[in-house]
Structure 1
Amino acid sequence: MEAIRDLPFALAFGILFVIVMLRANATYWLGRAADSGGRRSRRLQERLEGKAMDRARDIMATWGVAAVPLSFLTIGLQTAINFSAGAMRMPIRRYLPAVTVGSIIWATIYATAGTVLFTVIWNAINA
């Protein structure tokens, strides 16, 4: 984080944006793979094909797009929401714009307030 802090904002933002886009998209595709693999396992298929999951897929496909960029304002939910979007087969045409907005939000936060907060904590620990 110290190396990122010392970079010009545009470069720090660009690096952080690429990192989070790669991570979020990899998580989405892992969710899709888990869904595909679950169809081959009777036990997992029952969990992925139940009424509740069907309803969740419908909600995620219709309304859940907003959950993707908003998850980038949280700690701990980003991975779960991106994985769920993949597992629930959110259409890529909806997911990519949503994850791009979320990644812009995340990179902006971490390239500004995140590096300042890290510096304050780091200096307090090492004082």
Structure 2
Amino acid sequence: MTTEAMRAYGLDGLPVAVALLSLFGIVMARSHLTYWAGRGVARGARFEGEHRHGPAWWQRTVDRTARMSATPSARRGVALVHRWGPVAVTLAYLTVGVQTAVFAGAGLLRMPYLRFTLASVPGAAAWAVAWGTVGIGAVWGALALAAGSPWGLLVLAVAAAAVVTTVVTLSRRRREPQLAPPDTDLAPAHDPT
């Protein structure tokens, strides 16, 4: 295969255009499914407010979704969408850790679907290009480096362990209740009367 022909192919022999369109379709499907899940939670909450009684399975579903939508991540996503609107949706594609929260937050806030879609297209295109070119290249490069050298494999394993440890530590800290500072005055207040 010539160099020119090799440049036209990307992910494991796929033409670059097919790879980018596939990634674009995957990320659009994921974001829109998350948006519609948020819309479903919003509709369920509205329905629950109007109809206080229902079957037991419905009450369990409402309780489960209420717990999910009250997480710090969900609140952060709703706050971002509330403050920035469609711009938050577009930029969420270029972030790690808040994508799902922003997409679900757009659904929870019942952002009009056309507005969500128009904000999604440039973000999804940027995500597909980033992952279809630089992102996948970096992953394959790191794996090739690790496979070619035992030291490279060790460095990759240590980096992965550091990332996992950081994520676990941060998630545990978020789940722990914030303790108030201890009261320094241990003696009871003296009432002179």
Calculate the TM-score normalised by the size of structure 1. 0.78
Number of aligned positions between the proteins? 116
What fraction of aligned residue pairs are identical, expressed as a percent? 35
Residue 71 of structure 1, CA deviation: 0.7
1:98 and 2:98 aligned: no
1:22 and 2:43 aligned: no
* Root mean square deviation, CA, Å: 2.6
Residue 126 of structure 1, CA deviation: 2.1
Match of 2:16 among 9, 13, 33: 9
Partner of 2:133: 112
5+ residue gaps, structure 2: 1-9, 53-62, 149-193
Match of 1:33 among 19, 36, 40: 40
Question: Does the aligned pair in 1 maintain the 2:31–2:103 contact within 8 Å?
Answer: yes
CA distance in structure 1 between the aligned counterparts of 2:123 and 2:132, rounded to whole angstroms: 14
Calculate the TM-score normalised by the size of structure 2. 0.53
- DSSP-derived class of the 1:19 partner: helix
CA distance in structure 1 between the aligned counterparts of 2:128 and 2:41, rounded to whole angstroms: 28
Task: State the Cα deviation string for residues 13-40 of structure 1 (Å, max 9, x = none).
Answer: 0100000010000000000001112231
5+ residue gaps, structure 1: none
Larger relative contact order (CA 8 Å, sep ≥ 6):
1
